[in-house]
Amino acid sequence: MAHLGTRRGRVLALPVGLALTASLGFLPVGAASAAPAEDVPAAVASDGPNLSYVVNTEGGRHTAKVRKAIAAAGGTVVASYDAIGVIVVHSKNPAFAETIRAVKGVQSAGSTRTAPLAPVATTEVDEASQPLTAAEARAAAEAAEDGQDPLEPMQWSLPAIKADKAHDITLGSSKVTVAVIDTGVDDTHPDLAPNFDRAASANCVTGKADTTEGSWRPAQGESDHGTHVAGTIAAAKNGVGVTGVAPGVKVSGIKVSNPDGFFYTEAVVCGFMWAADHGVEVTNNSYYVDPWLYNCKNDPDQGALVEALQRATRYAERKGTVNVAAAGNSAHDLAADEITDTTSPNDTTPVDRVVDPSECPDIPTMLPGVVTVSSTGAKDLKASYSNYGLGVVDIAAPGGDRTEYQTPEAPAVNGRILSTTVNGGYNYKAGTSMASPHAAGVVALIKSKHPHATPAMVKALLFAQADDRACTNPYDINGDGAVDAVCEGGKRHNGFYGTGLVDALDAVRW
């Protein structure tokens, strides 16, 4: 995911130019992570870069035995998720992965990163967002009808999925919590504070949950991405600012990105496990797991990351959680035989490689069970940047597009999505990052209506209620005469829109 003016940026929002948003400051775990030298057996090399690993035990068992082997191989256990047999380890032994893979009871093990656990001195400004102007805010307030929050007239995406009509029936249940697994959520925002669920919020950046008050918030200078996502799901209908898709449900923040904006496997595993164990009904995942855009199962490191994440998402689903994820902003056909990935690994030096996405999934979105959401713009067409792919995309939702590509109807003026930002403000962003929370909000409405429905039942309702969207062919979104993507499939299920556009009204009526 290239991002404006920098190679970094894995959160899936689209900046003004075209690339993706994100970019933050830096990483605090370095100091806490180094294994004390005296814990490392003399025979084990400990002079390599300090790296983080996931170790997956066979059948999710044998964790006690494997932990001993980890220590003997010069590893320090950071967290052990015994319910799924995934252990998070730090080690400076360059041969750690190779050594531990040979241990009986270990199914796979891999480094979660290619850069060491050490500070990287970069502070980048998030260039992805467009401001809400004072004139726009005034125009919106004047256009607002009774019962609408003052900025709601700028939120073209709400009527696009009939959320405005749904709100006449219900705002959703406060017994449903959607966890935003992301860059953190600023719960002090006046539009988020009323619906924020602190008990379901944490910081998972190190791979081990920290529930210290406020640990889930973005630090000063860090990305507002998660805060924006949270507002789309459940900004309060309170006479202030914007309205979320499900303004009566609860939203929480599980921070998983480090200050450089990297979403590493151990943090994301922690996020899913923590959400599952704290009664979260829905998770929203608007990112891909770093440092690989695609993770090849036949690579010993990347394969272990896929395995660990699959175990975590499956565990969450078993506990009743519906996992919703952004399809990605590379305009890639995820059902293609080959994709050229030029951005991985993104934490050191990317190398061009050709991958088969069926063997090298984008995680978590392509994991079985996870709802994969493509993005549409204000003209109801696939957004220019949105990934697609028949059999991969499950459903479509508004994530916005360049205003010149898909212009909303007045009084809305910006083709992007307006939502909450840090410091109590509002801004526009576009990306599959913004589409996923629209779908997660609809899932929360379904769960409100059907509190005892299993994740499989909720997903079946989501797909059945979605409004069919036929393929858009030829698709020339930038109008230059050249086709930009080819949609495969029929009216009711295709590569651009999956089973269709999410339907908030059916969600509260069925």
Residues annotated as part of the active site: 182, 225, 433
Query: Using the rule CB under 5 A, is 468 a contact of Ca ion?
Result: no
- For 482, counting Cβ atoms within 10 Å of its Cβ (0-12 exposed, 13-18 middle, 19+ buried), the class is exposed
DSSP assignment string, 297-352: TTSHHHHHHHHHHHHHHHHHHHTTPEEEEE--SS--BTTSS-EEE-S-STTS----
Q: Name which position in 478, 490, 491, 510 contacts Ca ion (CB under 5 A).
A: 478
Work out how close the CB of 200 gets to Ca ion at its nearest, in angstroms, rounded to a whole number: 21
259/261 Cα distance (integer angstroms): 5
Q: Name which position in 126, 127, 136, 149 contacts Ca ion (CB under 5 A).
A: 149
Query: Using the rule CB under 5 A, is 480 a contact of Ca ion?
Result: yes
When the beta carbons of 393 and 395 are compared against Ca ion, the nearer one is: 395
- Please give the residues from 319 up to 378 whose contact with Ca ion meets the rule CB under 5 A: none
Work out how close the CB of 474 gets to Ca ion at its nearest, in angstroms, rounded to a whole number: 9
Work out how close the CB of 489 gets to Ca ion at its nearest, in angstroms, rounded to a whole number: 18
Query: Using the rule CB under 5 A, is 482 a contact of Ca ion?
Result: yes
Q: Prior bond to 291 cis, omega within 30?
A: yes
Q: Which two tokens stand for residue 3?
A: 């991002």
Per-residue interface string for the shown chain with Ca ion, residues 223-262, x marking contact by CB under 5 A: ------------xx-x-xx---------------------
366/313 Cα distance (integer angstroms): 11
Interface with Ca ion (CB under 5 A), residue total 16
Query: Using the rule CB under 5 A, is 503 a contact of Ca ion?
Result: yes
When the beta carbons of 260 and 506 are compared against Ca ion, the nearer one is: 506
List all residues 6 or more positions away from 42 whose beta carbon is below 8 Å from its beta carbon: none
Using CA atoms, how far residue 274 sits from 86, 209, 278, 281, 283, in Å, is 14, 7, 6, 12, 11
Looking at residue 243, the DSSP 8-state letter turns out to be -
When the beta carbons of 107 and 407 are compared against Ca ion, the nearer one is: 407
Work out how close the CB of 185 gets to Ca ion at its nearest, in angstroms, rounded to a whole number: 15
Query: Using the rule CB under 5 A, is 152 a contact of Ca ion?
Result: no
Q: Name which position in 194, 467, 486, 493 contacts Ca ion (CB under 5 A).
A: 467
Nearest residue to 353 (alpha-carbon basis) of 344, 361, 362, 366: 344
Determine the residue with CB nearest Ca ion.
503
85 Ramachandran zone, left/alpha/beta (phi>0; psi -120 to 50):
left
Query: Using the rule CB under 5 A, is 484 a contact of Ca ion?
Result: yes
When the beta carbons of 92 and 162 are compared against Ca ion, the nearer one is: 162
Write down the residue that tokens 């039942």 correspond to: 457
Work out how close the CB of 406 gets to Ca ion at its nearest, in angstroms, rounded to a whole number: 14
Stretch binding Ca ion (CB under 5 A), from 69-77, 389-397, 433-441, 483-491: 483-491
Stretch binding Ca ion (CB under 5 A), from 69-77, 122-130, 312-320, 463-471: 463-471
Per-residue interface string for the shown chain with Ca ion, residues 104-143, x marking contact by CB under 5 A: ----------------------------------------
Write down the residue that tokens 């999410």 correspond to: 502
Per-residue interface string for the shown chain with Ca ion, residues 176-195, x marking contact by CB under 5 A: ---------------x----
435/373 Cα distance (integer angstroms): 7
User: Residue 152 in 3-state DSSP?
Assistant: helix
Work out how close the CB of 462 gets to Ca ion at its nearest, in angstroms, rounded to a whole number: 10
When the beta carbons of 149 and 333 are compared against Ca ion, the nearer one is: 149
Work out how close the CB of 24 gets to Ca ion at its nearest, in angstroms, rounded to a whole number: 26
Looking at residue 223, the DSSP 8-state letter turns out to be -
Torsion of CA 256, 261, 264, 268, to 10 degrees: 20
Query: Using the rule CB under 5 A, is 476 a contact of Ca ion?
Result: yes
List all residues 6 or more positions away from 138 whose beta carbon is below 8 Å from its beta carbon: none
Nearest residue to 346 (alpha-carbon basis) of 420, 414, 290: 290
Q: How many CB atoms lie within 10 A of CB 337?
A: 10
Work out how close the CB of 294 gets to Ca ion at its nearest, in angstroms, rounded to a whole number: 25
Which residues of the chain form contacts with Ca ion (CB under 5 A)? 149, 191, 235-236, 238, 240-241, 465, 467, 476, 478, 480, 482, 484, 503, 506
